[in-house]
Amino acid sequence: MEQVLKAVGQGSYIHVPFPPQRESIDIRKFVVTCWRMIKDTGWQPQVSLEDGVEKTVQFYRRRHKEYLTPATR
């Protein structure tokens, strides 16, 4: 989240605790990593996470109107 807020230049977020009543049915923590892809195929990422977040923010700044529904325009 910090990287997105840095790229956007504004905003905030709050941590919402995981509801105890859902612990038995939901995954509490999910981490994405590309280490297996690198190990198995030799593939390497071409864009850093920081650059990817920045490029994504810039993309949506340029084209955000294409993603609005008629009710939100």
DSSP letter string, the chain: -HHHHHHHTS------PPPGGGTTTS-S------HHHHHHH----SS-HHHHHHHHHHHHHHHGGGG--GGG-
User: For position 28, what pLDDT does the model report?
Assistant: 63
Residue 40 lies in a domain: no
Residue 15 lies in a domain: no
Listed range (30-34, 38-42, 63-67) with the worst mean pLDDT: 30-34
Q: Please state the pTM of the whole predicted model.
A: 0.61
Six token digits for residue 23: 């612990």
Residue 26 lies in a domain: no
68 or 11, greater pLDDT = 11
Residue 2 lies in a domain: yes
Contact status, residue 53 vs residue 3, Cβ threshold 8 Å: yes
Residue 57 lies in a domain: yes
> Domain count of the chain?
1
54 or 37, greater pLDDT = 54
Residue 36 lies in a domain: no
Q: Show the domain range for 61.
A: 1-9+46-73
Contact status, residue 37 vs residue 43, Cβ threshold 8 Å: yes
